[in-house]
Amino acid sequence: MRSAILALLAALSASSAHAAITYVDAAGGAGGNTVNASGGSATDWYGTTSGSDTLWTERGFATNSTVYEALTATNNGSVGGLPKLKTTITGLDSGETYNVWVFFVDNTGDDATPIQNWSIGASLTATVDTTYWSQVQPLGTHNSATPVVGTNGSGTVTSIGVLEASSLDFVVDPVFTENLGLVSERRLFGVNLGQVSGSTTADVYIQQLIETNSSESRTWYDGVGYELVPEPSIALLGSLGLLALLRRRRA
């Protein structure tokens, strides 16, 4: 009896602690959800020519064949030259609490020198002061050097909390992997930026904070996500009562 109750508790606790993530693809342009955080323009922050010193580049990869790239070989010293972005999540319930995620792509197949460290600066506030990187290079032996802030960069760099997106639960899966098993293999990674509540929208800010430590390092920003933080279920509360009753009987 006791073991059955404990098993039920474990199952209910697991189901109540996590909900599936709703992935939201970042999209610029008219009707898109991503704008220049300074001024709110939907179009003045990106172009289609890779390697721009002043614009993000919209490229045809990752989820929905749209990913936004920063810091390629020609602009890896231009920290702060690219606009800060704001992606807005809509359709939230103001009475609920949500975990908010950001998702970026990293090249996990390359085993050449210099190392490719793809990272992203992200925050739930307009003050972006943390850059996240995956620290995961599963297909080859890599130099394990951390992306560096550099002389013109700012903030901190961390891999804490960064998870491979394929390990998470989604309502509808984004693209987890491209070019599987090849030198050009890329994988999607995510990090929980924190919680929001009391509003029907949530803003995620993206900014390039660091200089790269090789001409191959960059940011590929794919999108964001939100995940309902459930309150303890009635069933779980009832099971807790049963467990308390069992303990009293044993005493």
DSSP conformation class of 111: -
From start to end of the chain, where are the E strands? Answer: 22-25, 34-36, 46-47, 56-59, 67-70, 85-89, 97-107, 119-123, 130-133, 156-158, 162-164, 177-178, 186-197, 202-206, 219-228
Residue with tokens 């300074």: 38
What local confidence, expressed as pLDDT, does residue 85 receive? 97
Closest to 100 (Cα-Cα) out of 120, 79, 124, 77: 124
Instruction: Name beta bridge partners: 191.
Output: 102, 162
Residues 171-200, mean pLDDT to the nearest whole number = 95
Pairing of strands 156-158, 130-133: parallel
Distances (CA, A) of 18 to 11, 92, 108, 232: 11, 17, 28, 11
Q: What share of the chain is helix, strand, coil (3-state, %, to 5)?
A: 15, 30, 50
For the ranges 6-10, 48-52, 206-210, 237-241, the lowest mean pLDDT is seen at 6-10
Give 117's strand partners: none
Name the pairing type of β-strands 162-164 and 186-197: antiparallel
User: 88-97, 119-128, 209-218 — which is least confidently predicted?
Assistant: 209-218
DSSP strand pairing (186-197 vs 97-107) = antiparallel
Average pLDDT, the chain: 81
Q: How confident is the model at residue 141 (pLDDT cuts 50, 70, 90)?
A: very low
Give the domain ranges of the chain.
20-231
Q: What is the pLDDT of residue 28?
A: 98
Residue 8 pLDDT greater than 90, yes or no: no
In terms of pLDDT, which residue wins out, 103 or 55? 103
* Whole-prediction pTM: 0.82
What length is written for the chain? 251
**Residue-wise pLDDT tens digits, 13-38:** 444 456 899 999 999 999 999 999 99
pLDDT band at 241 (very low <50, low <70, confident <90, very high): low
Q: Look at 53-67, 124-138, 147-161, 164-178 and tell me which has the smallest mean pLDDT.
A: 147-161
HSE value, Cβ hemisphere, 13 Å, CA-based, for 246: 12
Q: Are 109 and 184 in contact (CB under 8 A)?
A: yes
Rounded average pLDDT over 130-138: 75
- Quick count: other Cβ atoms within 10 Å of Cβ 13? 15
